[in-house]
Structure 1
Amino acid sequence: MHANDASMPGGAAGGAAVVAHPAWIRLVLPFLGLGAGLLVKGAAQWVISLPWAPFQGPLELLESLPEPGATIGAGVLGAVGGLVLVFLIDHDALTVEVRTDRVGLARRGRTHGHARQDVEGVFMDGRGLTGKRLVLLGGDGGELERLPCDLKEARVAEAFRVNGWPWLEADPYAGEFRRWVDGLPELPPAANALLRARREALEKDAEGDDADELRRELAGLGVVVRDEKERQYFRLLPGTGGTGGTGG
């Protein structure tokens, strides 16, 4: 899901720079849902008259209800749908709070914080509204964070830059990634098992907590992983290597 983001200026004299979805979206969506519900009610009879139109059963049920209950009910259902959409946006959206000495990343009720001294660089990876990831690189070249981010890249970059963080235009290690194939002997023994489990987690929920937790476990083994078109790609940190076998 995507909506324009709101930001607050920061910097050494201005406190934190915060980038998040704007508050007005929480107010607008229920009203849009209300309008959509009333629009559906108004067009229900016409839609029912079309032999090829979908959802004729629910629309016929709606039309059979007495007034004004039918109109009120349609409006209430639309507003509830808008509230559900607000909940989904709040649940999945990333909020970025950057200070000169620390960054906080909040998503799905969890907040991850990192000190400035532990971060080598920050960049946005991926394309499209649902494919972008905010990435924080550690001093060893590993990834401290790789989180879904549909905020405007320019505003996120500004929040980091104004607070003196190293914003990168691209992943400096992009050329080191290789596509994962089960059983690669150069991976640590446990890594193939974790990547298999992560593949299953991605099939269930590409942006879920299980896949992210497994990514963090792989990072502990010195394996950096990213996703592209439902495929996993990996790179190894210096000094990391397998001893043969598939692990598990």
Structure 2
Amino acid sequence: MFNREIQPPLSLPATDALDAFFNLSPDLFCIRNSEGYFTKINDRWTERLGWTEAEMRSQPWIEFVHPDDLQATWEWEAELTPSSPQPLRYKNRFRCKKGGYRWLSWRISQDEQGISYGIAQDVTEEQWRKSAVYRGGVQEAVKLRDQAIAASRMGIVIADANLPDMPLIYVNPAFEQITGYLPEEVLGVNCRFLQGPKTDQTELNRLRAAINEGCHCTVILLNYRKDGTTFWNELTISPIYDYAQNLTHFVGIQADVSDRIIAEKALRLEKNRSEQLLLNIL
């Protein structure tokens, strides 16, 4: 009963073994060549930052670093040599595909050919908890933010991107002044109630596309006040992402630009009239 031949374990090709090893770790593994490009990364990079391996290999790794961290990163990297007895350690911020940055804590070694081997841990939450805003200034920062938003002459609205139909959850006093709607009349519903029969569908399509893609966008729309009168609304929307790069809200900033639009139309009419008079004279 003990004479069954034991089969040796199947061996993986070197590249497959490396891939398997890379992707076992919860950390971000990478290999960089001497020219400053990633040559290999594990799947954690895509999970954390959103970039595919091809995208990250297509540009120098330093271009992903936050502009405020570039100088320090270059200084740290200058200390990286094959003769270094210990891995180089430092922290910086890397750009996410959808915007924003994540803090990475690095350990990097280099061989004689200038190939660098790095392991990075995502320490974004840790850095956030250590920040001065988090330690003691959260309430004060929120208070100042609320005062600034309330005092703004621009209409400011916030919509919840995770609820069905993205309802409004906040409007500032200027929104009421511009549109005539009270907060209790609009909170909990989508802001399309400002649209009407003469609202430009092309601009609306641009706006919808930006919302679907989670992108920043500015449009000019003919909107309708509560009393039925119209106004030209220059609307800018910006997506808000949490620390994990999940879309949570949209912020909309509204400006009544009716006077500007009317003046621009008058100028165009006057220009056309002058050109026509000149043609008649000639």
- Per the normalisation by structure 2, the TM-score is 0.22
Looking at both structures, which has the greater relative contact order when contacts are Cα pairs under 8 Å and sequence separation is at least 6?
1
The structure whose Rg is larger is: 2
